């Protein structure tokens, strides 16, 4: 087990002016499960590969347990990596795949056997040890890749989108297994994904990246409840937060005919936003009301019946343009497609951002 520190670590690819990772400062605690999340090209996989020693660090440092590993080769960093495509040797059995790295280290046969069988029991792979990878399902192959990392007993686990090749049901099942396994082993883990639901359900903390820059790092709950800027607000949560930039008055923000009240501090913080303010509310933080109860009208485009509740997608005409909104509602009160309904954001659940900077007010 170990701590991991990114100290202003940057990666600039040859021929590119903009860093793929720009001065990343991040502390990962001993035994912590940290998830790096963001859209494609945001620098999350590059950050992981810098820690693994597979990418150069052009500026700054990376430390593991206080030791500077910036210029050490991958084999000297005491890390184990689980890749997206499993990277198993097709001609070897499950046992041989899991034992391979230990054989290279000249580990004794008895020790190899103990570690492989312990990992196989942990991952419920006992009955598959003699099989070749082609005789396994995608989920079983991913567990073998996990087992190969576990037997090495590294200081840090690195996982690069390990579930992206699995179908939806298996992905849900496997992510709970990985989270349980990490808690049991207590090994510091850095996990990369583009799936924010995965990030919310697995990580002790989540680091959100955009264009090579760390936007915010916090617990999943804190990121959901108090996102630090417009990007984090829109990225975390499914369905996404409703975020609109609307005219600002002394009373608050105006969604067409509806004035959404803001506190005096929020109005003051939005003053340098060019007469506008950016307001967000989660789909579950708005109510469907009848006309005249203080809502604004939207035309329903789609209704997703989820069984216990429903997502209502619609559009409203604001400032001459069609703006899309999503509201979560009780399925007993589901509207029909094409119907006009009135939505009223819950004023105690609003997220307010500066319209120019995008920073939370």
- Whether residue 49 is predicted with pLDDT greater than 80 in this model: the reply is yes
The domains of the chain are located at: 4-234, 241-354
* Tens-digit pLDDT profile for residues 75-85: 899 999 998 88
Percent of the chain with pLDDT over 70: 100
As a whole number, the mean pLDDT across the chain is: 92
User: What is the full DSSP assignment across 27-54?
Assistant: EE-TT-EEEEE-STTSSHHHHHHHHHTS
Confidence of residue 86 (pLDDT cuts 50, 70, 90): confident
| Average pLDDT of the residues in 196-215 | 94
Is 144 a residue whose pLDDT tops 80?
Answer: yes
Higher pLDDT, 331 or 154: 154
Predicted pLDDT at 333: 81
185: nearest Cα among 163, 205, 156, 206: 156
Architecture of domain 4-234: 3-Layer(aba) Sandwich (3.40)
DSSP 317: E
Q: Is 131 exposed, middle or buried (0-12, 13-18, 19+ CB in 10 A)?
A: middle
Mention the CATH class of domain 241-354.
mainly beta
Tens-place pLDDT, residues 154-193: 999 999 998 888 888 888 888 888 998 899 899 999 999 9
Which DSSP string corresponds to 260-310?
EE--HHHHHHTTTTTTEEEEEE-GGGEEEE-TTSS-EEEEEEEEEE-SSEE
Q: What is the DSSP letter of 348?
A: G
pTM: 0.90
Over residues 277-304, the pLDDT tens digits come to 999 999 999 999 988 888 899 999 999 9
Say whether pLDDT at 118 is over 80: yes
Least confident of 197-211, 221-235, 241-255: 241-255
SS3 category, 224: helix
What is the pLDDT confidence band of residue 17, given thresholds at 50, 70 and 90? confident
- Beta-carbon contacts of 285 under 8 Å, excluding residues fewer than 6 positions away, are 345, 346, 349, 350
pLDDT at position 331, please? 82
Q: Alpha-carbon torsion 294, 299, 304, 305, what sign?
A: positive
């Amino acid at each position: 087990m170990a701590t991991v520190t990114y100290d202003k670590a940057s990666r600039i690819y040859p021929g590119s002016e903009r860093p793929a990772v720009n001065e990343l400062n991040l502390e990962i605690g001993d035994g912590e499960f940290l998830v790096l999340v963001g859209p494609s090209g945001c620098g999350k996989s590059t950050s992981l590969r810098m820690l693994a020693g597979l990418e150069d660090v052009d500026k700054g440092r990376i430390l593991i347990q206080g030791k500077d590993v910036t210029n050490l080769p991958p084999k000297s960093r005491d890390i184990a990596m689980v890749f997206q495509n499993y990277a198993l040797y097709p001609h070897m059995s499950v046992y041989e795949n899991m034992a391979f790295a230990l054989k290279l280290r000249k580990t004794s046969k008895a020790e190899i056997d103990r570690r492989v069988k312990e990992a196989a029991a942990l991952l419920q792979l006992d009955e598959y040890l003699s099989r070749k990878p082609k005789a396994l399902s995608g989920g079983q192959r991913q567990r073998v890749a996990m087992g190969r990392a576990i037997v090495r007993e590294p200081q840090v686990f690195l996982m690069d989108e390990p579930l992206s090749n699995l179908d939806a049901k298996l992905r849900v099942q496997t992510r709970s297994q990985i989270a349980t396994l990490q808690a049991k082993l207590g090994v510091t883990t850095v996990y990369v994904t583009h799936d924010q639901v995965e990030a919310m359900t697995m990580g002790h903390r989540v680091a959100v990246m955009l264009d090579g820059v760390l936007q915010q790092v916090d617990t999943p709950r804190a990121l959901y409840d108090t996102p630090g800027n417009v990007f984090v607000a829109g990225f975390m949560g499914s369905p996404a937060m409703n975020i609109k930039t609307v005219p600002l008055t002394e009373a608050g923000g105006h969604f067409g005919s509806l004035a959404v009240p803001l506190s005096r501090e929020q109005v003051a913080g939005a003053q340098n936003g060019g007469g506008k303010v950016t307001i967000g509310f989660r789909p579950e933080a708005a109510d469907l009301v009848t006309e005249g109860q203080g809502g604004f009208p939207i035309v329903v485009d789609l209704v997703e019946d989820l069984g216990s509740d429903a997502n209502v997608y619609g559009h409203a005409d604001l400032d001459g343009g069609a703006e899309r909104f999503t509201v979560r509602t009780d399925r007993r009160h589901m509207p029909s497609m094409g119907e006009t309904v009135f939505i009223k954001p819950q004023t105690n659940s609003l997220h307010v951002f500066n319209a120019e900077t995008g920073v939370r007010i």
